[in-house]
Amino acid sequence: MRNVLLIILISVFTSSFSQVEIDTSEIKSIRYEWKIDIEKNDSTLYQILTEYKSGIYKEEFVDFKKEHHKFPFINIFESKSDYLDRDIKSNRKVHYWSAMNGLQKNYYDKYGNLDSIYFRYEKDSLKEIKTKIKKEYRRKGKLKYLINKHDEKEIYFYTLLGNLKKIELYKDSTLYEISNFKKGLLLSKIYPTRKKYRKRFTYEYDRYNRILKRDDKDYEYFLYFYNDSGLSKIEKILKKKDMILEQKLFLYDKNGILKTKKEFRKIGGKLKLTNKYNYEYK
């Protein structure tokens, strides 16, 4: 399907900012998220997700923009994950986002790592921030270190075969976060200096390297279920003191296509359905 719907050309702001063209000329699919009013048995279009043949996705939230807002709520990104819901996509490379009175454009180098950022905010006056990401490479395009937009230093470690083994993140010269990898998969994140909250978060995979459990929040975790055809269900659970307070179910058809999302909340001691979403594709 060919549709010259949107061509976004990230402009050159300074000599250090690359010119990057994001190709959205050919649409692969469009997904419509409908929020169902359970009591009225009515539906409202909530989100539109467009997938392009170039590997780019555009996510639009339909009714978010108000009259006093400058920009609509839009994300344009690439993803290494097949699970493209707002609540479960954790591995995205964002090229552009806008919401209310601000927008941000991210630029990437030839190795796919963040290179520079342009941020624009418009309300009573115009505010622009241009940030160049500092980084150094080893041989064959392997990152040695990177200083992100929060002025945190990320140091990269590799195995003898050149596979990513560990990333250490420092805040003000203090080791704040350790990410451990094996065979390209994130296994754990450790926060040595945390005192009040958890220090260790883990990820579990099956023998096909498919994610089974993502436990990377203090009170939330995700469970992934598969059948012979692929992904069949995802559960997002909010739990405190061994008590489930909220639950979200993402239900897929036999082809691994998301069809329904259900949200439950604990009311009167029981989990009750509070929101339901259906998905249509073109």
Q: Is the pLDDT of residue 86 over 70?
A: no
DSSP class of 161: T
**Alpha helices (H) along the chain:** none
Q: Which domain covers residue 264, as residue numbers? A: 219-282
Q: Is the pLDDT of residue 3 over 60?
A: no
Question: Which pairs count as long-range contacts for 136-145, CB under 8 Å and 24+ apart, including other chains?
Answer: 137/111, 141/110, 141/111, 143/111, 143/113
* Residue range 6-27: mean pLDDT, rounded: 55
User: What pLDDT, in 10s, does the model give residues 224-243?
Assistant: 999 988 899 999 999 988 89
Do 32 and 91 belong to one domain? yes
The amino acid present at 224, given as its one-letter code, is Y
Whether 213 maps to a domain, the answer reads no
Q: What angle do CA 121, 122, 126 make, to 5 degrees?
A: 85
Do 82 and 174 belong to one domain? no
Do 122 and 185 belong to one domain? no
Which pLDDT does position 216 carry in this prediction?
Answer: 84
Q: Is the pLDDT of residue 55 over 80?
A: yes
Q: Is the pLDDT of residue 118 over 90?
A: yes
Whose CA is closest to 221, among 197, 240, 195? Answer: 240
Which pLDDT does position 106 carry in this prediction?
Answer: 93
Residues in Cβ contact with 68 at an 8 Å cutoff, skipping those fewer than 6 apart: none
Which pLDDT does position 256 carry in this prediction?
Answer: 87
Q: Using DSSP, state whether 92 is helix, strand or coil.
A: strand
Do 186 and 140 belong to one domain? yes
Q: What are phi and psi of 139, to 5 degrees?
A: -70, 155
pTM > 0.75: yes
Whether 211 maps to a domain, the answer reads no
Q: Is the pLDDT of residue 10 over 70?
A: no
Which pLDDT does position 67 carry in this prediction?
Answer: 86
Whether 225 maps to a domain, the answer reads yes
Q: Is the pLDDT of residue 14 over 70?
A: no
Whose CA is closest to 222, among 89, 88, 92, 84? Answer: 88
Q: Average per-residue pLDDT in the chain?
A: 88
Whether 212 maps to a domain, the answer reads no
Q: Is the pLDDT of residue 151 over 50?
A: yes
Q: Is the pLDDT of residue 258 over 90?
A: yes
Whether 214 maps to a domain, the answer reads no
The amino acid present at 23, given as its one-letter code, is D
The amino acid present at 32, given as its one-letter code, is Y
Question: Rounded to the nearest 10 degrees, how much is the dihedral formed by the CA atoms of 87, 92, 95, 99?
Answer: 10
Which pLDDT does position 5 carry in this prediction?
Answer: 38
- Run of H or E including 25: none
Do 65 and 83 belong to one domain? yes
Do 193 and 239 belong to one domain? no
User: What pLDDT, in 10s, does the model give residues 172-214?
Assistant: 999 999 999 998 899 999 999 998 888 999 999 999 999 999 9
Distance CA 55, CA 74 (A): 17
Which pLDDT does position 124 carry in this prediction?
Answer: 86
Burial group, residue 106, by CB count within 10 angstroms (0-12, 13-18, 19+)? buried
Do 225 and 123 belong to one domain? no
Distances (CA, A) of 159 to 5, 115, 141, 144, 211: 44, 25, 15, 13, 22
Among residues 147, 182, 206, the one where a domain terminates is 206
Which pLDDT does position 9 carry in this prediction?
Answer: 38
Whether 89 maps to a domain, the answer reads yes
Do 2 and 128 belong to one domain? yes
Among residues 178, 206, 234, the one where a domain terminates is 206
- Give me the number of domains the chain comprises: 3
Burial group, residue 110, by CB count within 10 angstroms (0-12, 13-18, 19+)? exposed
Do 201 and 245 belong to one domain? no
Distance CA 46, CA 32 (A): 8
